[in-house]
Amino acid sequence: MRQADRDLLDSLLAREYCYILNARQMGKSSLRVRTMNKLQDRGIACSEIELTGIGSHNITALQWYGGIVQELIDGFELSINRRSWWREREDLSPCQRLGEFIETVLLKQIKQDIVIFIDEIDSVLSLDFPTDDFLALIHNFYNKRATNLEYRRLTFALMGVATPADLIQGQSSTPFNIGKSIELHGFELSESLPLVQGFRDRLEQPEEILAQILSWTGGQPFLTQKLCRLIEQNSQVTDVQSLDQLVEDKILRNWESQDDPEHLRTIRDRLCRFANRSFGTTKNNSSQKLIKIYRKILLRGKIPLRDSVEHLELRLSGLVASNQGYLVVKNRIYKSVFDQTWLEQQLRELNRSDSNLIPFGRVILISLAIATSLIGIRSWGRLQPLELKSLDLLMRLRPKEMPDKRLLIVNITEEDVQSQPAVERGGASISDRSLAQLLAKLEKSSARVIGLDIFREAPLAAQYQSAIAPMQQSDRFHMICQFGNPGVPASVQVVPRHGFNNVEPDADRVLRRQIIAVSNPQPCNNGYALNWHLATRYLQDLGIKAKVVNNYLQLGNTPFKPLAITTGGYQKLDRSGHQILLNCRNSIRVAKTVSLQEALADSFDLNLVKDRIVVIGVKASSFNDDFWRTSCDDSQTGVEIQAHMTSQILSAVLDDRPLLWTLSQVGESIWIISWSLTGGILFYYGRSGYQVITGMSLIIVTISGSCWILLSTMGGWFPLLPSILVVILVSSTLYIYQEQISHRR
């Protein structure tokens, strides 16, 4: 019996939450068993949950919490079908199910006071999911005592080898700030007297031998019992001197090989555990701190006890104990094994581990080599598909925009097609009569510019020519043609002014570029795109004219620089014609849209046309396979594409909405190399795996945020994917390299 037996029993009888966080092999489990028996003798229902029995590797949160429930069912012999009860609550999280089980099953079926012992609480550190919720749930049970008297019958006792900070991050919800800490000390001589019974038949002075045992072990339960067993097995031990020789022969000499069952090695590993867990470097300031603190204790005999992580870690290792406000070495055996010689050896090994750090210059060289290699791979176009996808993602994550009020789209829908007599349509999507009516109405409504995104090979019938004659003679009406082989020639009999509607999708059939001019537009009779004609004619009324500056087009002060062979994520781009990146409008609709029937109706609001660019096109699926994917949308009709491209030109000139731009090849290389070096430097200065992983995550978030901000606010397309890849590659390579160095040493 120790003082801890009385403290734990009295506290649990008083319904206090208790926790025993102490070193291994200090008798926590036997303390639990004895306390449970005494509580049960007093009519208190008890059960233990050994978390190591539930498992901590390759187990899900659902399985883990389910295992706890099953332990409670078995321990308290509850009447319930766990599987069906568990499945009926699939809408709850595993932690919520456990809480409901405690309240609706355990507290209902067990009417007396309840004590639940949770042993090996430190095993939660090995789980693949966070357990803050589990410990917060225990805290919540305590809080419910204020409003629910049933919870006053429920008490918990937690045992393990861990600090409260190890077990839970949110200190406001930890059960350790509401519970009572039970101090677990070694055997006092008066407490150890029952052991004398084993010596009385063979030793003349058993009490003296027991006192000498405790002088070696400091009452440490495991060592005390081990030494008693050794005396039992060795008849040569008859007095204090022979006992001292036994300790020297069987425990201290070559202690690592004789440490069976393992005890001293457990202390050693706990003391140096941070070095064993290091990530990317074996440098370990934490282990050095612990060992240096222990060296002070060894040299001075004791040091003042502080409420610090290092002091608590030393106590949890079992090597030291608190004594009247001081830290002291727990016993003579520990002081003899973990002596000054051992200390110096450990410090030398830690210093040698420090030297295992990859030299800073080599870190820089490796970072540069990886960045250079990635830039080379990128130049071959191996990353282009993924880079284009990352551009699409950034484009869609931009803030939403309003439709462009300078444009109006007239869509010929399937309903519009069916509403026109087939005889009049003659197999076309719109009849001559409907087209003439629409154009005449638009012209009378003072449309600024009209674009017809429909191919028409035959001129309008004679009876409709007069209706559109004003439009044919005006420079405000444009139709489409298509260059290439075979292409679609311009129908000058319908409208003399034309612009091509060619688009250039990427290999994944996504439109990310806009062609505004070509040098050889045959069989078109015009080298400019329809969207360019519509935008420039609109701007002409504002006194803004197109001009050529340094071999690229310019409107006012806004240059439209053509794409280079290597532009952003594009490598060896086919840049025929005057191409720019398509900065599509990130809105539900690029512009106000009406159907043909709505436009022809008497109730149509003519203000929707006045001073606007009107683009007419076909949306009916029976006449249109002109559907495209863009960075902003997965399905856009050809007329909507023309509207996007027209809007981009107008917005760049009139609204300062940026055109998409990229860094030069040199600039992008510097950008990638900079992030590579940042990743390498972070790895070099990382003090732990957690710090390195957290830092790498922050770098990736910073890269992603920077690329998004630059694109959203300035139109800059910066290398997102290569920058993230280079950080991951640098960290991984340095880690593997460091591990190889560590193993060789």
**Residue in the structure block whose two tokens are 């390299």:** 737
Rounded to an integer, the average pLDDT of 700-721 is 96
Tokens of 259: 């440490």
Residue 283 — very low, low, confident or very high, per pLDDT cuts 50/70/90?
very low
Query: In sequence order, which residues have a C-beta less than 8 Å from that of residue 689 and are 6 or more positions away?
Result: 277, 278, 279, 280
**pLDDT at residue 281 in the model:** 35
d(CA 358, CA 363): 6
Q: Which of 95-104, 150-159, 167-176, 622-631 shows the lowest mean pLDDT across its residues?
A: 167-176
CA separation for the pair 725, 672 (Å, rounded): 9
**What is the identity of the amino acid at 745?**
R
Does residue 143 register a pLDDT over 70?
A: yes
**pLDDT given for residue 278 in this prediction:** 35
Statement: residue 494 has pLDDT above 50: yes
How high is the pLDDT of residue 171? 55
Helices H / strands E in the chain, number of each:
32, 22
Average pLDDT over residues 459-470: 73
pLDDT exceeds cutoff 90 at 130: no
Cα torsion angle, 303, 309, 310, 316, sign:
positive
- Whether 431 has a pLDDT exceeding 90, the answer reads no
Nearest of 401, 388, 624, 407 to residue 511 by alpha carbon: 388
Give 301-357 pLDDT, tens digit per residue.
999 988 787 888 888 888 888 888 899 999 999 999 999 888 888 877 766 555 446
Non-local (6+) Cβ contacts of 245 within 8 A are none
Q: How far apart are CA 417 and CA 497, in angstroms?
A: 26
558-598 pLDDT tens trace: 999 999 999 999 998 887 889 999 999 999 899 999 999 99
Which pLDDT does position 575 carry in this prediction?
Answer: 75
Statement: residue 62 has pLDDT above 90: yes
Contact 342, 710 (CB under 8 A): no
CA nearest neighbour of 378 among 606, 641, 671, 603: 671
**Four-residue CA torsion sign, 199, 202, 207, 213:** negative
* CB neighbourhood size of 265 (10 A): 12
Distance CA 570, CA 422 (A): 47
pLDDT (mean) for 178-186:
86
The SS3 of residue 78 is coil
Distance CA 727, CA 367 (A): 9
CA dist., res. 22 & res. 593, Å (int) = 73
DSSP 234-301: -TT--SHHHHHHHHIIIIITTHHHH--S--HHHHHHHHTHHHHT-SS----HHHHHHHHHHHHHHHHS
Q: What element of type H or E holds 642?
A: helix 638-654
pLDDT, the chain, mean: 88
As a whole-number percent, the residues of the chain with pLDDT over 90 amount to 57
pLDDT tens digits, residue range 352-401?
Answer: 555 446 888 999 999 999 999 999 999 999 999 999 999 999 999 999 99
Amino acid 178: pLDDT: 83
Q: What is the pLDDT of residue 390?
A: 96
- Interacting residues of 421 by C-beta distance below 8 A, sequence separation 6+: 431
Q: Are 256 and 264 in contact (CB under 8 A)?
A: yes
d(C-alpha 496, C-alpha 519), whole Å: 20
CA distance 37 to 305: 35
Please identify which residue in the block is written with the tokens 């008849």: 235
Contacts of 102 (CB under 8 A, 6+ apart): 72, 141, 154
| Residue 276 banded pLDDT, cuts 50, 70, 90 | very low
Tell me how far CA of residue 298 lies from CA of 270, 293, 335, 343, 436, in angstroms: 18, 9, 7, 10, 103
User: Distance between CA atoms of 669 and 63, rounded to whole angstroms?
Assistant: 48
User: Which two three-digit tokens encode residue 238?
Assistant: 């008859």
Reduce the secondary structure of 139-203 to three states and give it as a string: HHHHHHHHCCHHHHHEEEEEEECCCHHHHCCCHHHCHHHCCEECCCCCCCHHHHHHHHHHCCCCC
**CA–CA gap between residue 157 and residue 4 (Å, rounded):** 13
End-to-end CA distance of the chain: 48
Bridge pairing between strands 154-160 and 114-119: parallel
The structure tokens listed for 165 are 């900070």
What's the rounded Cα separation, in Å, for the pair 444 and 390?
46
In this prediction, residue 75 carries a pLDDT of 94
**Whole-number pLDDT of residue 173:** 61
Residue 742's pLDDT band (cuts 50, 70, 90): low
Preceding peptide of 486 cis, ω within 30°:
yes
Span 612-623, average pLDDT: 90
User: What is the amino acid identity at position 338?
Assistant: F
Quick one: DSSP state of residue 701?
H
Residues 6+ away with beta carbon under 8 Å from 339: 298
pLDDT of residue 168: 67
Give the closest residue to 513 by CA, choosing from 722, 718, 717.
717
Q: What are 230-245's pLDDT values in tens digits?
A: 998 888 888 899 999 9
Contact 700, 713 (CB under 8 A): no
Torsion (CA) 692, 696, 699, 704 in degrees, nearest 10: -160
* Residue 738 reports pLDDT greater than 70: yes
The widest CA-to-CA distance across the chain, in whole angstroms, is 136
613-618 and 407-412 strand pairing: parallel
Using a pLDDT cut of 70, give the percent of the chain over it. Answer: 93
The set of residues, in sequence order, having a beta carbon less than 8 Å from that of 716 and lying 6+ positions away, is 658, 660, 661, 662, 663, 710
Which of 104, 110, 124, 41 has its CA nearest to residue 78?
A: 110
Q: Pairing state of beta strands 154-160 and 45-50?
A: unpaired
**Percent of the chain that is helix, strand, coil (3-state, to 5):** 50, 15, 35
